[in-house]
Amino acid sequence: MPTVDSTDSIDSSLLSRREAIRRATLLVGAALTPSLLAGALRAQASPPGAPARVLTPAQLETVAAIADRILPRTDTPGASDVGVPAFIDLMLADYLTVEERTVFVTGLAQLDNTSRTRHGAGFAQLPPARQDEQLMALAEASKSGTRTFLHLVREATIVGYFTSEVVGKTVTHYDPVPGRFDPCVPISEVGNVVWTR
């Protein structure tokens, strides 16, 4: 079996779940929250139509609007298209710490209250340009913090997106068994090397 040099580029059609998470971490620009990473590796998708366990319907709508501004629909599915809001609710319910959950829910409420105060409507009801303004202001305010609401929602959105089945099949083309299986190959065709090398 040929070895892969770490300097070789990885074929995107052979992207593993761990590699997708690693790349998502690079997009976030910092190490992922350990509880979020552990949850992403163990979590099973919620069945379609399953009720939210932590977030209210209004909060889910706001989370969906935020996630869609972070990863909007283009020629690929957007965050809401692949179930990111439900993934975030699952992370809040089962995997994030009490402190992280408090930061998330408090930050979500503050964002919505700021939207209502400044624009007379909740974040989810604002036009995309106004939503972007709100998120940019939040990003500027979050620069001095380490585990802010924006950090958590951005990480959860990116991890939820890149670990979804739809994105794995249609965007990253995840192949659980890369290559083909040839059960009887002459050893001379594989460099005269056996598995136990």
Query: 């950090």: which residue's tokens?
Result: 151
Q: Report the candidate in 84, 91, 108 with the shortest Cα–Cα distance to residue 35.
A: 91
Q: How far apart are CA 38 and CA 134, in angstroms?
A: 30
Torsion over CA: 124, 126, 127, 128 (sign):
negative
Q: Helix or strand or coil: residue 143?
A: coil
More confident residue, 114 or 186: 114
Reported as type and span, the H/E element at residue 93 is helix 84-94
- Tens digits of residue pLDDT in 34-56: 666 666 656 655 555 667 789 99
How confident is residue 20, by pLDDT bands cut at 50, 70 and 90? low
Q: Report the candidate in 165, 43, 23, 27 with the shortest Cα–Cα distance to residue 96.
A: 43
